[in-house]
Amino acid sequence: MNVIDVLNQEQRKENVPEFRPGDTVKVYSKVIEGGKERTQMFEGIVTVRKGGGAQESITIRRVAHGVGVEKTFLLHSPRVERIEVSKRGSVRRSRLYYLTEKIGKAARIKEKKAAR
């Protein structure tokens, strides 16, 4: 292994849960306001999962007060405290860009049946 691979391996987190685009997740991230640091939760549907290794990122979309909000997080960033999976979605694509034009009930994603 070369030096870059070793550094990437060191910076990766082990506690990242298994999730895919279409899943609803809660991302708890650290936010600095003034001199204080607090944890802020952002819940939404995973639309994109890009990259690999320490550079992997996810884009999450939610509708807040009738306005669509998309936020991109680096999965292995020290600012991201934890990620929780709320629902599993059943989609056939890896990039859900079509959700940006959908509003309300049209933007719903079918939930995956739980395996017993």
The average pLDDT across 6-24 equals 90
Q: What is the pLDDT of residues 73-112, one digit of tens each?
A: 999 999 999 999 999 999 999 999 999 888 888 888 999 8
Contact between 59 and 72 (Cβ < 8 Å): yes
pTM score: 0.86
* pLDDT of amino acid 39: 96
Q: Which CATH architecture has domain 3-104?
A: Roll (2.30)
The average pLDDT across 9-28 equals 92
Considering only CA atoms, which of 64, 66, 81, 61 is closest in space to residue 13? 81
3-state secondary structure 17-64: CCCCCCCEEEEEEEEEECCEEEEEEEEEEEEEEECCHHHCEEEEEEEE
Collect all residues with Cβ–Cβ distance below 8 Å to 70 and sequence separation of at least 6: 47, 59, 60, 61, 100
Give the N- to C-terminal CA distance of the chain in Å, as an integer.
41
Distance CA 83, CA 98 (A): 24
